[in-house]
Amino acid sequence: MPAVSKGDGMRGLAVFISDIRNCKSKEAEIKRINKELANIRSKFKGDKALDGYSKKKYVCKLLFIFLLGHDIDFGHMEAVNLLSSNKYTEKQIGYLFISVLVNSNSELIRLINNAIKNDLSSRNPTFMCLALHCIANVGSREMAEAFAGEIPRILVAGDTMDSVKQSAALCLLRLYKASPDLVLMGEWTSRVVHLLNDQHMGVVTAAISLITCLSSKNPDEFKTCVSLAVSRLSRIVSSASTDLQDYTYYFVPAPWLSCKLLRLLQCYPPPEDGAVKGRLVECLETILNKAQEPPKSKKVQHSNAKNAILFEAISLIIHYDSEPNLLVRACNQLGQFLQHRETNLRYLALESMCTLASSEFSHEAVKTHIETVINALKTERDVSVRQRAADLLYAMCDRSNAKQIVAEMLSYLETADYSIREEMVLKVAILAEKYAVDYSWYVDTILNLIRIAGDYVSEEVWYRVIQIVINRDDVQGYAAKTVFEALQAPACHENMVKVGGYILGEFGNLIAGDPRSSPLVQFNLLHSKFHLCSVPTRALLLSAYIKFINLFPETKATIQEVLRSDSQIRNSDVELQQRAVEYLKLSSIASTDVLATVLEEMPPFPERESSILAKLKKKKGPGAVTVELEDGKERGELNGGGDRGGDAAIAASNASTPSPSADLLGLRSTAPVSGTTPSAGSLLVDVFSEAGPSATSAGVNDDGFLSSAPPTVASEDPAPPLPESDELLNKFVCKNNGVLFENQLLQIGIKSEYRQNLGRMYLFYGNKTSVQFVSFNTTVSCPGELQSQLNVQTKTVEPLVEGGAQVQQVINIECLTDFIDAPLLNIKFRYGGALQNISLKLPVTINKFFQPTEMAAADFFQRWKQLSQPQQEAQKIFKASHGMDTEVLKAKLLGLGTALLENVDPNPENYVCAGVIQTKAQQVGCLLRLEPNAQAQMYRLTLRSSKDTVSQRVCDLLAEQF
């Protein structure tokens, strides 16, 4: 007879579940569930006492609703009441409700504890088991305080039923894990250890988990368990396949218990007692022998169970690492599994061999399987298995096979799964460095790495190759020649250009003797890549150019011409512009000696831990990286290539403002790439990351994993705008593109364009984590009177943002009439369960709708006079908060959207501008005059327009910019 007959289900429950299953939409489902919740709530609240059957039915409904992902915030009290019932049915359902829905912080714990206390002393084994289960499920400290003294007594008492003993053992284990200080084994230790001898295999099965945990924490107190475990294991291993009756699983005697016994032994070194050790070795040999016997059944369960024991035995042999004979047998057995037709076995064999590879006895034996492992990397269908193969190759690598393994990993990289590429790149880079006999091979390998998987080569990797080339003069010439050749490729990765720029800038002279790589050829090659590169790389190339002027005086004229061209010296990016200006000046005024000192070759980098290794450790968690670099002795922070001392003297761009084009869409903030001052890109990021809110990232630690503390749940209403959102808004008054916001999770980039009274803004939401954002939702709202001043239309974005992905949102804006406030942008999403709720001001300001107006001096002053009514003018006098550099000021005024009028103001120090603000309702002419006073570091700003509100607003906005 089946244990659950199908007819005896609860009809009301079945009807409810069927209703839910028939719901056509999510809305209908939610409606049905809410109806049911209301019904149950009223039943629970009602005066009529419910019978056990009804209570059980309602609790089952609640469980079903909970499983669908809905919060249940009532019924707890009813469940607690059920616990004190004398009926099994009611008690059982009460405990079930509590085990699923009550967490350890509940206020009900004291009531629950009372019920548990009664059941534990009831001497009814079923009730006792229910109570023990409940303790194990909730496992709170309060429960440990109440029961930690009682449970060991139940566990070892002579008259306790076997099933209760089993539950008591695991219950105690749970309490020990949660509150080890409260569980004092002391007097019980020996009796608990002797449970290993219990006649009932189920009791041993449960007790061994407890003993293993206690042994790993207090090995000395429990070390008597070793001999007991060995004799138990020996009895199982040598028993005939039918001796253990019900504990024989598909012809294998007690496989689960055998595995657990072998695990317990891994808490200890090999037994010292010769007899015990002999018996254990015998067991291990028997297990290895059995692997070679023909199977007793063709069922996969039979071989699974047998191999589960075998793998644990091999783990123990590897753990002991002292029996060369067993180690070699283990290695051979794993070798067989490497070619087994069962994928599971190949996977486990690769994994076990990884640990075997670090044993000195078996390292050589593992190496003999290299061809099989390489083959696995190439041909396995399952990415999990390929990953294990890559791990094993990494572990078995030494000086003798490094070239082969690195070559195979490189060729695998060309087709590797995206998910493991970055890790593969790090591994290749580490092996190449660690086992490099000649550094030319190392340089070749890294450049190949960049060629094959440039996108996955992190900064650490290319910084490292540069550090090594700088530090080893025997490889510099070769490196220069190789990068020169690599750069010949019509399309090469930007990382290659970075390495090439840096190395040729330092050591280009070493290959300049060959007319095919003369200084000018080198320069032209680098410069041919310039226009394809991002700003940080361009900045690095500019530094390479100035280094060229020092290395090769004959290139000076050509390079100066490049620096002098408008695209450099008037570049819209401040960092590039500044470098061009300063390098040009430096090259024209400094004497050869000064130049040679300033642009001297880079001094060697101090030896630190390889930054790549640090990165791999961070990726895989500590302990996962077994290969240590020979020269990596010190633990240092990431060894960024940013600390270039050589050109410290040249750049002094303290006053540089964020550039509009800097690495807008890149999710990775670029670390200092070149030069001592941060590049424009990183400056930008710094500014914003400081301003980024910390409140929204609660519950997220550095690794981006969820911390164990549940994050505080934020409100569903749009959050008020961040306090710094005005500041963020101000950054975009004179520019249209850049990073609006950034925190640990999210980066928001903006690109926008305006024409007449219309604007279009592209928002780029980048997920910086590796976990997807769900329920991602953004809204743009116009508070108050802004609603009638601006017309903003957005397209909704997909609710799911994958880890590392970026989604784009287009916003169309129409300016109806002039306005003061900015629209609000609210972003909500869930990250690891925590609601993130961020509000920002969208940088739409009235000046975006300026049309520049050119006019002659006479016209300007005529109109200026026409706008002479007091309310038409707004004026501010304020102190300069940035440098008063002419070019910077001009760039900002142009960025404002007005025309900058030359030769209008009689005082050449002053600036005047004119423009018309285009709104749907009207056009507002606007004139501006900015008078700097360099001595006092002050400005006077005057605005005149046909509308008083516009004058005031533009004046306010612009005053924040200088």
Partner 1 sequence: MIKAILIFNNHGKPRLSKFYEHYSEDTEQQIIRETFHLVSKRDENVCNFLEGGMLIGGSENKLIYRHYATLYFVFCVDSSESELGILDLIQVFVETLDKCFENVCELDLIFHVDKVHNILAEMVMGGMVLETNMNEIITQVDAQNKMEKSEVRL
Of 199-218, which residues contact partner 1 (CB under 8 A)? 201-202, 205-206, 209, 212
Which of 627, 774, 820, 855 is in the footprint of partner 1 by CB under 8 A?
774
Closer to partner 1 by CB, 5 or 415: give it: 5
Which of 22, 53, 269, 756 is in the footprint of partner 1 by CB under 8 A?
53
Q: Which residue has the tokens 């009602």?
A: 46
**Rounded Cα distance, 533 and 193, in Å:** 68
Window 100-129: residues binding partner 1 (CB under 8 A): 100, 103-104, 126
Window 309-328: residues binding partner 1 (CB under 8 A): 311-312
Per the CB < 8 A criterion, the answer to whether 206 and 257 are in contact is no
Instruction: Tell me if 156 is assigned to a ligand binding site.
Output: no
Please tell me whether residue 394 binds partner 1 under the rule CB under 8 A: no
Distance from the Cα of residue 442 to its chain's centroid? 29
Q: Rounded to the nearest whole angstrom, what is the least distance from the CB of residue 878 to partner 1 in the complex?
A: 49
Which of 113, 166, 555, 845 is in the footprint of partner 1 by CB under 8 A?
166
Instruction: Tell me if 60 is assigned to a ligand binding site.
Output: yes
- DSSP letter string, 514-565: SGGG-HHHHHHHHHHHHTTS-HHHHHHHHHHHHHHHHH-GGGHHHHHHHHHS
438's enclosing H/E stretch is none
Question: Which of these ranges, 76-84, 187-195, 536-544, 704-712, lies near partner 1 under the rule CB under 8 A?
Answer: 704-712
Query: What are residue 836's DSSP bridge partners?
Result: 829
Helix (H, G, I), strand (E, B) or coil at 126: helix
Which of 28, 39, 74, 87 is in the footprint of partner 1 by CB under 8 A?
87
Tell me how many degrees the CA angle 439-441-444 measures, rounded to the nearest 5: 110
Which phi and psi angles does 834 have, rounded to 5°? -90, 135
Which of 58, 147, 222, 247 is in the footprint of partner 1 by CB under 8 A?
247
Q: Rounded to the nearest whole angstrom, what is the least distance from the CB of residue 522 to partner 1 in the complex?
A: 45
Instruction: Tell me if 632 is assigned to a ligand binding site.
Output: no
Per the CB < 8 A criterion, the answer to whether 527 and 505 are in contact is no
Q: What single DSSP character describes residue 801? A: B
> Helices 76-83 and 88-101: crossing angle, nearest 10°?
140
Which amino acid is located at 150 in the chain?
E
Q: Rounded to the nearest whole angstrom, what is the least distance from the CB of residue 786 to partner 1 in the complex?
A: 34
**Rounded Cα distance, 867 and 925, in Å:** 10
Window 777-806: residues binding partner 1 (CB under 8 A): 803
**Rounded Cα distance, 201 and 181, in Å:** 30
> Helices 418-434 and 439-453: crossing angle, nearest 10°?
170
Closer to partner 1 by CB, 255 or 660: give it: 255
Q: Rounded to the nearest whole angstrom, what is the least distance from the CB of residue 360 to partner 1 in the complex?
A: 24
**Rounded Cα distance, 463 and 602, in Å:** 14
Q: Rounded to the nearest whole angstrom, what is the least distance from the CB of residue 778 to partner 1 in the complex?
A: 20
Which of 370, 629, 771, 816 is in the footprint of partner 1 by CB under 8 A?
771
Q: Rounded to the nearest whole angstrom, what is the least distance from the CB of residue 304 to partner 1 in the complex?
A: 5
Which phi and psi angles does 775 have, rounded to 5°? 50, 40
Closer to partner 1 by CB, 712 or 933: give it: 712
Instruction: Tell me if 461 is assigned to a ligand binding site.
Output: no
Helical spans, DSSP H, in 102-200: 109-120, 125-138, 141-147, 150-156, 162-178, 189-193
CA neighbor of 227 nearest in space, from 257, 187, 270: 270
Please tell me whether residue 22 binds partner 1 under the rule CB under 8 A: no
Question: Which of these ranges, 48-56, 402-410, 506-514, 780-788, lies near partner 1 under the rule CB under 8 A?
Answer: 48-56
Instruction: Tell me if 12 is assigned to a ligand binding site.
Output: yes
Instruction: Tell me if 259 is assigned to a ligand binding site.
Output: no
Residue count, binding to partner 1 (CB under 8 A): 88
Please tell me whether residue 80 binds partner 1 under the rule CB under 8 A: no
* Per-residue three-class SS string for 343-367: HHHHHHHHHHHHHHCCCCCCHHHHH
Closer to partner 1 by CB, 127 or 478: give it: 127
**Rounded Cα distance, 674 and 663, in Å:** 15
Q: Rounded to the nearest whole angstrom, what is the least distance from the CB of residue 300 to partner 1 in the complex?
A: 9
Instruction: Tell me if 61 is assigned to a ligand binding site.
Output: yes
Angstrom distances, CA of residue 455 to CA of 394, 397, 484, 526, 670 = 22, 25, 20, 20, 14
Q: Rounded to the nearest whole angstrom, what is the least distance from the CB of residue 337 to partner 1 in the complex?
A: 12
Per the CB < 8 A criterion, the answer to whether 82 and 55 are in contact is yes
Question: Which of these ranges, 9-17, 476-484, 544-552, 881-889, lies near partner 1 under the rule CB under 8 A?
Answer: 9-17
Please tell me whether residue 93 binds partner 1 under the rule CB under 8 A: yes
Which of 60, 602, 650, 913 is in the footprint of partner 1 by CB under 8 A?
60
Which of 214, 288, 327, 348 is in the footprint of partner 1 by CB under 8 A?
348
Window 254-283: residues binding partner 1 (CB under 8 A): 255-257, 259, 263
Which of 22, 197, 770, 788 is in the footprint of partner 1 by CB under 8 A?
770
Please tell me whether residue 2 binds partner 1 under the rule CB under 8 A: yes
Question: Which of these ranges, 57-65, 229-237, 269-277, 506-514, lies near partner 1 under the rule CB under 8 A?
Answer: 57-65
Which amino acid is located at 291 in the chain?
A
Residues in Cβ contact with 767 at an 8 Å cutoff, skipping those fewer than 6 apart: 667, 745, 746, 773, 801, 802, 803, 804, 805, 806
Q: Which residue has the tokens 């509308």?
A: 947
Q: Rounded to the nearest whole angstrom, what is the least distance from the CB of residue 803 to partner 1 in the complex?
A: 8
Closer to partner 1 by CB, 312 or 460: give it: 312
Question: Which of these ranges, 4-12, 217-225, 477-485, 880-888, lies near partner 1 under the rule CB under 8 A?
Answer: 4-12
Helix (H, G, I), strand (E, B) or coil at 941: strand
Per the CB < 8 A criterion, the answer to whether 252 and 302 are in contact is yes
Q: Rounded to the nearest whole angstrom, what is the least distance from the CB of residue 165 to partner 1 in the complex?
A: 11
Known binding-site residues equal: 11-12, 43, 53, 57-61
